[in-house]
Structure 1
Amino acid sequence: MSFAFARSRYRQAETLVQESVKDPYDIIFVTLRELNRSLVVLARTQQEARTLPSDHVNRVLTAIYILQSSLDFEAGGDLAGDLFQLYEFARFHVLKAMRGETDARLAEAAAAMGDILGAWEQIGSDVRSQAL
């Protein structure tokens, strides 16, 4: 396979991943899902002692920025503060891993984001069932 062909397939795949979402719940859901997916990839890569894929590092950092920026500390109170700290934990350990520090806790960060994603999915199904 030629480099040009591989590059064009990558760009096509990247375009297909982008979803059209309008509902604020769905925006956060997609962001959390992509954050979790990329953290799992980074944790696996770290465990295999390979170089972190920069596209997943960028996705994680972008997703964390989006999620932290979307928090409403007035309405969310302690929960918003706790979520901010969990996102910051993930960001901190991704940056440690980028610097090649072996004590970066990417698996823990991925597990925490998986828990948040699961809770967000439950909230969504509860909200949608109440709307019916």
Structure 2
Amino acid sequence: MNYAFARQQYKQSTRAGLTGISDPHEMIALTLNELSRCLKKLQGINQKDAQRNVTFSKAFTAIYILQTSLDFEKGGEISENLFKIYEYCRSQVQRALKLDPQAELDACVKVIDDMIDAWSHIK
């Protein structure tokens, strides 16, 4: 997993000062939580909301971090399945960005929140 790169990308996107986070498990937990927060915010956001683009950017960045943090060699099928989930969420966020009423952000929120719960029990 490329945690240093993920941390750098997240920091650039949010300017959140994550340099103190060295635990990869914590970094993924934080990223999953940020993605969930963004997805929930996007469900109620309208086209004229000033924070719309910032929220979309943060959601895409969180998804990118999660996807690039996967280790396909060690993770095998689990990594492949997680990538598919993240890719589904990315496609739904992209649909929402285009104001597509068929964007299924609620399904993304559910699966990401389930992952947050499962992730909290791993360590």
> Fold match, TM over 0.5?
yes
Aligned to 2:24: 24
How many residue pairs match? The answer is 106
The CA distance in 2 between the partners of 1:98 and 1:35, in whole Å, is 15
Compute the RMSD of aligned alpha carbons.
Answer: 1.5
Q: Name the aligned partner's letter for residue 90 of structure 1.
A: C
Instruction: Using the TM superposition, give the Cα deviation of residue 101 of structure 1 relative to its aligned residue in structure 2, in angstroms.
Output: 0.9
Separation (CA, whole Å) in 2 of partners of 1:72 and 1:92: 22
| Residue matched to 1:65 | 64
Q: Which runs of 5+ in 1 are unaligned?
A: 1-13, 125-132
Structure 2: stretches of 5+ with no match in the other structure: 1-13
Superposed CA deviations along residues 11-67 of structure 1, whole A, max 9, x for unmatched, are xxx66x54431111111111111111111111233xxxx226111111110011111
Deviation, structure 1 residue 100: 1.2
> In structure 2, the residue corresponding to 1:89 is in which secondary structure?
helix
Equivalent residue of 2:74, what SS?
A: helix
Q: Which residue of 2 aligns with 1:43?
A: 43
Q: Partner of 2:44: helix, strand, or coil?
A: helix
CA distance in 2, matches of 1:112, 1:100: 22
Q: Which protein is bigger by CA-based radius of gyration?
A: 1
Report the TM-score, using the length of structure 1 for normalisation.
Answer: 0.74
Q: Could you say which residue in structure 1 is the equivalent of 2:98?
A: 99
Identity %: 35
CA contact (8 A) 1:43 1:110 kept: no
Tell me which stretches of 4 or more aligned residues in structure 1 moved more than 2 Å: 17-20
2:120 matched residue in structure 1: 121
Any idea what SS the aligned residue of 1:76 has?
Answer: helix
Give me the TM-score of the superposition, normalised by structure 2. 0.79
